[in-house]
Structure 1
């Protein structure tokens, strides 16, 4: 009855299902892993560490990554701002007003450049950074590309604007390597003309019990991929069952026809 399953077209069907099911399951497991990461990060975007200030190069050397325990740590870096490649991140609100973050690369001698969020400005016109060597102090933050909801991304960008403070994106447009994450500026020597900029605000801690919207999104994708895997198995079984029923009915009809002719 089921020998038709060995026909070439049915073998192709089996292979497709055998590939689709583990792929969907793997994607579901990956999304569940991402859910765990975002759940651990909690519902806040930022935090402040009470640990003492350290040079950024010691905390995140070379191609190192910003670890969870280092996020919010006060760090320092000395270099020269690359004013020609300064950009703004529009659509960011502060005290109910709409404005932009001013992001300027800091060229550090002998090491990768540092992405510095110099602060918030109303509108989209950013003040120029100071000329010459500066020492910046600020909070070390994760790249927003991984830890900020898509709902926060700005649309309709113009030249000199970016949607997120994203090291993985900036490294593709800047002609030099970058330190992972970015520094939210809190102090600068010399201060120069930074009075027009308001520091990047710090969100209140949620006590670690909150779950971000991105985490819920990953959990939804997890369920979706496992549903797809189950649906593929069900479709495979349903198609085979229907084919078998049709073949059995055809055989029964043929048998009845033969009996009718003989009688």
Structure 2
């Protein structure tokens, strides 16, 4: 048989390599396309967080034992018990509610039974820019009900940083950036307070759902994932083309060698 050489061990190994490479490249391409859809969905934005109408659940249950608020968790209502840390309360100026300029009051909460991770709670809005110590903090155990929000970023929220802020004031609620501001580890994300037991005596205005910046197009990260998608499918196609080209070349060389042998058998010299 003309193509019997394809069953030789080294050729079988080559076939298997290509058969493995093609689905692997295709799977990676599909994964990158899924990531593209996720990032593109996030970059499009909906204007504001969609607030869930479902009943509040325990924080650990919503986050499934993790420590990061994801897009799946955003807007969900959670319950958490613990104690506030008044000494490290923060003020977030430049926040507008109902056309009035003011600040968010951000207070760390240590969840009950959690020895390491603390949770940032946006307890509410207050007019002006008060000193962090001027807003009273509940003492003792509290039971907080609130809406999960993602850590803010300049690109995702459209919030501009305020330069030259004194200690105790921050421009955006970005928990990874607070590693050098607060003396403990934090959940990545925060809770916007909607109810508390006992009631908060500070009389703060509830924080409105966080807005997301509409990019009007595909984000840079989404473009990157789309590029990787194309790259992996090109690799899959290139693997098939390489297999076809190598096999075709081997067949042609074997045919030329066979023709040369036939000519020599007739006493003729093959054409060079």
State the TM-score, normalizing by the size of structure 2.
0.60
After alignment, is 85-94 or 168-177 more displaced?
168-177
Q: Which ranges of structure 1 fall in alignment gaps of 5 or more residues?
A: 1-29, 205-209, 226-263
* Aligned equivalent of 2:231: none
1:35–1:216 Cα contact (<8 Å) kept: no
Deviations 1:5-64 (A, max 9, x none): xxxxxxxxxxxxxxxxxxxxxxxxx9xx68951533623242201222101121125543
Matched, 1:53 2:56: yes
Matched residue count: 188
Please name the residue that 1:145 is paired with. Answer: 153
TM-aligned CA deviation for residue 148 of structure 1: 3.3
Distance 1:139 1:159, change over 3 A: same
Instruction: Answer yes or no: is the 8 Å Cα contact 2:95–2:103 preserved in 1.
Output: yes
Structure 2 segments unaligned to the other structure (5+ residues)? 1-31, 228-272
- 1:132 aligned to 2:140? yes
Kindly indicate whether the alpha-carbon contact (under 8 Å) linking 1:149 and 1:213 is maintained by their aligned counterparts in 2. Answer: no
Please tell me the root mean square deviation across aligned C-alpha atoms, in Å. 3.2
Distance 1:188 1:215 in 2: 40
The answer (yes or no) to whether the contact 1:87–1:162 under 8 Å persists in 2 is yes
Which structure has the bigger radius of gyration? 2
- Greater alpha carbon shift after TM alignment, 174-183 vs 62-71: 62-71
Cα distance in 1 for partners of 2:106, 2:36 equals 28
The within-5 A match list for 1:13-162 is 37=39, 39-40=41-42, 42-111=45-114, 112-125=117-130, 127-145=135-153, 148-162=156-170
TM-score (norm: length of structure 1): 0.62
Classify the secondary structure of the residue corresponding to 1:64: coil
**Alpha-carbon contact 2:154-2:161 (below 8 Å) kept:** no
Asked if the contact 1:85/1:105 (under 8 Å) is kept, the reply is yes
